[in-house]
Amino acid sequence: MVSVRSVVDRVGPTLLHAVHLPEGCPAVSDVVIAEPGGVHLGAGDLVLAVTVPDAQAAVELIRGCGEHEAAAVLLKPPLAGKPAVRRAARTAGIGLIEVHAATSWAQLVWLLRTVLDAIADETDTLENGDDPAASDLFRLADAVASVVDAPVTIEDTNSRVLAYSARQDITDPARVATIMGRRIPDDVLARFRSRGVFRDLSRGRQTIFVPGQRDGTKPRLIVPIRMGGELLGSMWAVVAGPVSDERAAAFADTAPVVALHLLRRRAHAEVQRRASAELLRALLRGEVSPRKAVAELDLADEPHRVVAVETTGGETLDGEGLRLALLERLSQGVGRRPPAAENGGLLYVVVPDGSGPGSWPELRSALADVPAGRKTGALRAAAGSVAGLADLARSRAEAEEALGLLRAGVLPGRVVCFDDVWTALVLHRVATAASGARVTDLGPLGAIRAHDTSTGTEYAHTLYEWLRHPGDPRAAAHALRIHPNTLRYRMRKLLELVPLDLDDPDLRLALLTQLITQRWA
């Protein structure tokens, strides 16, 4: 059974927005177009309101679809947002979906039917791990190459190659390096960027011609791939020289078809991402067998660490946006993207503990290199100790504990490893247990704290540093950023307030335990 929600999610927010989805919305069975003179409706139909002229006609269509138990009606703005139309959908108990204004109805019909077929075959696809759009993209690249009469690559918005044509009659080192590395080399990217190519792509120019360069790079004819105003990628043709207007127009005309394939590819990738993320969350909770994780998450049966990453959004990126950008950066910095999932505002990444590609040392370096600033936000990350796949829940809990100390400012820096901060963890755990036993309520500490509160003195802090540096008043004074004579004066006044035998080792240990509890709990 295919739900309306799953169809909307697969197509994505670029094209579809669910205005109203009732609880008992029927499962989707087919896609039909509402045309003048009526349409034969069946239960579960997605009805495209292609020729509906106004809100009254939309209301009548929705009522008729409700009577036939259709699944949803798809309307373009502003009709989908009209109060009368929304009321009609709620009354009829039918879904109401808004279609992006710039979307072609013909393309949407094709895409919806493709998505329905993909969802129907989802189980087999996920089990095989195949991308149903990958081979189609390569065939499409061959077809586009015949249209423009030149070798073609299809690339995403990060200049990574998704597919390329078989033609190699016109080539240069840049194209060879692009195909071999599956992305445009950095030096070639810099040259195209300096010529304003990517600026023109973002501005939506229909075709962009880049002349050849002295280093032997041949001319390029570039077409942006867009759908509903969103830039999905681009097509690059290696040409011998300037291209006729007719041929350039034919090349540009292939972009909408490629856009549909990219959307289908993204829909499949999103299905896989969600399934993998949910499996990883279950693994980190200890709810699935490691054998299943090894098979479906491509995890080697070797020691791993769980890394918990916390992000704070800046002016240009919120927390979620920063985590997505971080995942993209990590996938480039450590080779293949490691298994990752979001949960409770944290990003969890599972990496092997060795020294090879994608290991914890490489991830730690990549995390440390992520810039932080007012506009882009910042991150903190902590890794749990080494664990087998059956014990990743423990490593996750340890990562969260270490991250909590980072968040509280107890530990310096932005990235820590559980194994390296054991002293802080011991003190924190002792303080947490002692706090539950209310040890700070015992003895003279309460009187010292009350005096500090009422007079603004810092006797409790002074005593803490004096006990931490036994017999070394200079070190204690340095930690307090005061002169050693000031330290001695404070200690004399403190002992006048609460007479203590600081030569008693048990008393010193008890006081230090109380002060640690007060600071660390």
Quote the pLDDT of residue 27.
87
399 and 443 share a domain? Answer: no
Please tell me the predicted confidence (pLDDT) of residue 169. 67
**In-domain check, residue 274:** no
pLDDT of 87 reads 94
Same domain, 114 and 140: no
CATH number at residue 110: 3.40.1390.20
Do 68 and 175 fall within a single domain? no
Q: Pick the range with the lowest mean pLDDT from 110-119, 282-291, 313-322, 419-428.
A: 313-322
Q: What percent of the chain has pLDDT over 90?
A: 30
Q: Evaluate whether 174 touches 236 at the Cβ level (below 8 Å).
A: no
The residue segments making up the domain with residue 239 are: 134-263
Classify residue 86 by its DSSP letter: H
Say whether pLDDT at 121 is over 70.
Answer: no
**Amino acid 472: pLDDT:** 92
pLDDT category at 32 given cuts 50, 70, 90 is confident
The answer to whether the CB of 327 falls within 8 A of the CB of 318 is no
Same domain for 138 and 114, yes or no, is: no
The Cβ of residue 289 has, within 10 Å, a number of other Cβ atoms equal to 12
Look at residue 108 and tell me if it is in a domain: yes
> What integer pLDDT is reported at residue 316 of this predicted model?
42
Number of CB atoms found within 10 A of residue 116's CB: 19
Between 275 and 447, the higher pLDDT residue = 447
| Mean pLDDT value of segment 203-207 | 79
Asked whether residue 431 is assigned to any structural domain, the reply reads no
385 within domain boundaries? yes
Straight-line distance from the first to the last Cα atom of the chain, in angstroms, rounded to the nearest whole number: 52
State whether 255 and 138 are in the same domain: yes
pLDDT of 266 > 60? The answer is yes
For residue range 85-97, what is the model confidence (pLDDT) as tens digits?
A: 999 999 999 999 9
Residues 354-381: what's their mean pLDDT?
73
Q: How many other CB atoms sit within 10 Å of the CB of residue 246?
A: 8
Q: The CATH number of the domain where 380 resides is what?
A: 3.30.70.270
Alpha helices in 222-318 (DSSP H): 245-253, 255-284, 290-296
E strands of 56-94, at which residues? 72-75
151 and 223 assigned to the same domain: yes
Asked whether residue 285 is domain-assigned, the answer is no
Tens digit of pLDDT for each residue in 60-105?
999 999 998 999 999 999 999 999 999 999 999 999 999 888 777 7
In a domain, 270, yes or no: no
- The tens digit of pLDDT for each residue in 449-482 reads 999 999 999 999 999 999 999 889 999 999 999 9
**Kind plus residue range of the DSSP H or E element containing 48:** strand 45-48
Model confidence, pTM = 0.51
Whole-number mean pLDDT of the chain? Answer: 82
Same domain, residue pair 513 and 400: no
Q: pLDDT digits over 173-185, tens only?
A: 887 777 766 778 8
pLDDT, tens digit, 9 for 90 and up, residues 295-352: 777 777 789 999 998 877 554 444 555 555 565 555 544 445 678 888 888 889 898 8
* Tokens, residue 213: 């360069």
Q: Total structural domains in the chain?
A: 4
- Give the residue from 95, 119, 143 where a domain finishes: 119
79 within 8 A of 58, measured Cβ to Cβ: yes
Q: Of the candidates 263, 280, 314, which is a domain's last residue?
A: 263
190 and 302 co-located in one domain: no
How does residue 168 score in pLDDT terms, banded at 50, 70 and 90? low
Using the CB atoms, write b or e for 425-456: b if 16+ within 10 Å: bebbeebeebeeeebbeeeebeebeebeeeee
Are residue 168 and residue 104 in the same domain, yes or no?
no
Closest among 287, 297, 309, 296 to 393, alpha carbons compared: 287
pLDDT, mean of residues 150-170: 83
Contact at 8 Å (CB) between 219 and 211?
A: yes
Q: Is residue 97 part of a domain?
A: yes
Claim to verify: residue 140 and residue 189 sit in the same structural domain:
yes
Per the domain annotation, does 128 fall within a domain?
no
